[in-house]
């Protein structure tokens, strides 16, 4: 447990958390919505600082990031807790663990004791240990992922600042509900962010994701681009929930208006958590979403979470040459020409390809 940075003190020992757009006001002895940020005697503490619950070395394509150091490995870790309550969460066993514990044992003392015990689980993993591991194994980037990194931003910050000093890049895989204060804090270490845009329907965010405002996600996407983070966006396409032409067109047009260079990943849903009654996303639906994205003017649209298509390849937007050939979640061939400044170009026609290539 470590004292948080993203909060401000209020009267009567209360605090206001400023890590995400919920801006929770937390009474003494209580926790914010995410379950891992606790008010202790008028100060906010992060219960999961240095406590990783999931740790892996992944292909960077798994995040998914397709225009950020393709073919490289990325050290990935996450903690318990989340500031969303998505009914379709693929990592619900860690992200929703504090919320489920609170629901089972209540808001009182027993619930608090049980959550505190739960948060003792996990692997002791300090920022220095993470960076040393990456240096030893020549891993060029770290991903804050698996659960929502916004809620453990101080842990990410302490890791990321040290990583940046050692030439290692940092990536957020996020639901996009960061506060303005958090985004400013992230500027000190973050290089790239993949933001889920789960829907373009306010009711979907409110009812399916747990009292979330769509406008907040849209604002974070815009701000991330303005700040200069390398930005990619992902939509998990759920049958009969967010897969209509109208909704997919709205998402694609929104992204294209910000920049046609933003890669958009349309990925397959698989039944899980509270949505086991839904069917998996048909490939035909993903192909329709891909076409909608291209028609909106997006240069780079990718199909994910399924095999059997070549819509994970990166093509030159001008001459259609296959620049990066991918398998399910890997990079098989990369022909992008990388200049001295790190910019990428098509070897066939010289067109600049947006991304971070070295």
Q: Taking the chain, what is the end-to-end CA distance rounded to the nearest angstrom?
A: 35
Q: Per residue in 22-51, is it b (16+ CB within 10 Å) or e — as a string?
A: bebebeeebbbbbbbbbbeeeebbbbbbbb
Of these ranges, 13-22, 304-313, 335-344, the one predicted with the greatest mean pLDDT is: 13-22
Per residue in 152-168, pLDDT (tens digit) is 999 999 999 999 999 99
Report, as an integer, the average pLDDT of 113-142.
95
Phi, psi of 260 (to 5 degrees): -70, -10
| Total Cβ atoms within 10 A of residue 254 | 17
- Judge whether residue 308 has pLDDT over 80: no
Whole-number average pLDDT of the chain: 96
* 20/180 Cα distance (integer angstroms): 8
Q: For residues 1 and 49, is the Cβ–Cβ distance under 8 A?
A: yes
Tokens of 288: 């329709």
State the helix-helix crossing angle for 127-136 and 153-165, rounded to 10 degrees: 40
* pLDDT of the residue at 238: 97
Of all residues in the chain, what percent carry a pLDDT higher than 90? 93
Conformation bin of residue 87: beta by default, left when phi > 0, alpha when psi is -120 to 50: alpha
Instruction: Give me the residues paired with residue 26 across strands.
Output: 15
Average pLDDT value for residue range 242-267: 98
Phi and psi, residue 248, nearest 5°: -65, -40
Query: Residue 254 contacts by C-beta under 8 Å, 6 or more apart in sequence?
Result: 197, 200, 218
Q: What pLDDT score was predicted for residue 106?
A: 87
Question: How much is the pLDDT for 335?
Answer: 96
Give the mean model confidence (pLDDT) for residues 16-34: 97
The Cβ of residue 120 has, within 10 Å, a number of other Cβ atoms equal to 9
Rounded distance, CA 314 to CA 292, Å? 17
Q: Report the distance separating Cα 42 and Cα 59, nearest Å.
A: 42
Q: What is the pLDDT of residue 26?
A: 97
Mean pLDDT along residues 121-135: 95
Structure token digits, residue 356? 């971070």
pLDDT at 310: 86
Separation of alpha carbons 165 and 178, rounded Å: 24
Q: Mind listing the domains of the chain with CATH numbers? A: 2-46 (no CATH), 51-310 (3.20.20.70), 313-358 (no CATH)
Q: Is the pLDDT of residue 311 over 90?
A: yes
Torsion sign, CA atoms 267, 203, 181, 13: negative
The dihedral built from the CA positions of residue 208, 212, 217 and 220, taken in this order, carries a sign that is negative
Contact present, 204 and 196 (Cβ < 8 Å): no
How far, CA to CA in Å, does 71 sit from each of 20, 60, 97, 308, 327?
A: 32, 7, 33, 20, 11
**pLDDT over 90 at 299, yes or no:** yes
């Amino acid at each position: 447990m470590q004292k948080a940075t993203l909060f401000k003190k209020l009267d009567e020992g209360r605090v206001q958390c400023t890590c995400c757009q919920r801006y929770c006001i937390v009474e003494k002895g209580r926790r914010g919505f995410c379950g891992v940020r606790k008010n202790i005697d008028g100060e906010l503490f992060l219960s999961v600082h240095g406590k990783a619950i999931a740790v892996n070395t992944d292909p960077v394509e798994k995040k998914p990031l397709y225009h950020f150091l393709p073919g490289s490995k990325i050290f990935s870790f996450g903690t318990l807790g989340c500031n969303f309550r998505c009914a379709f969460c693929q990592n619900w066993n860690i992200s929703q663990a504090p919320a489920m514990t609170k629901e089972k044992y209540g808001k009182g003392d027993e619930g608090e004791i049980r959550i505190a015990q739960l948060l003792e689980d996990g692997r002791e993993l300090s920022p220095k240990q993470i960076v040393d591991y990456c240096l030893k194994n020549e891993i060029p980037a770290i991903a804050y992922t698996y659960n929502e990194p916004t809620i453990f931003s101080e842990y990410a910050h302490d890791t990321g600042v040290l990583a940046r000093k050692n030439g290692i890049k940092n990536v957020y895989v996020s639901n996009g509900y960061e506060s303005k204060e958090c985004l400013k804090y992230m500027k000190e270490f973050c290089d790239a962010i993949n933001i889920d845009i789960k829907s373009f329907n306010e009711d979907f965010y409110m009812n399916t994701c747990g009292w979330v405002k769509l406008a907040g996600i849209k604002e974070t996407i815009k701000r991330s681009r303005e700040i200069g983070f390398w930005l990619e966006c992902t939509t998990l396409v759920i049958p009969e929930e967010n897969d209509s032409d109208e909704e997919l067109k709205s998402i694609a047009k929104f992204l294209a208006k910000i920049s046609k260079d933003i890669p958009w990943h349309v990925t397959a849903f698989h039944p899980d958590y509270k949505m086991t009654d839904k069917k998996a996303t048909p490939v035909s639906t993903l192909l329709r979403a891909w076409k909608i994205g291209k028609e909106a003017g997006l240069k780079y649209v990718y199909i994910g979470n399924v095999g059997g298509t070549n819509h994970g390849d990166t093509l030159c937007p001008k001459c259609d040459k296959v620049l990066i050939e991918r398998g399910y979640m890997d990079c098989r061939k990369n022909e992008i020409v990388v200049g001295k400044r790190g910019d990428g170009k098509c070897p066939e026609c010289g067109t600049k390809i947006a991304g971070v290539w070295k």
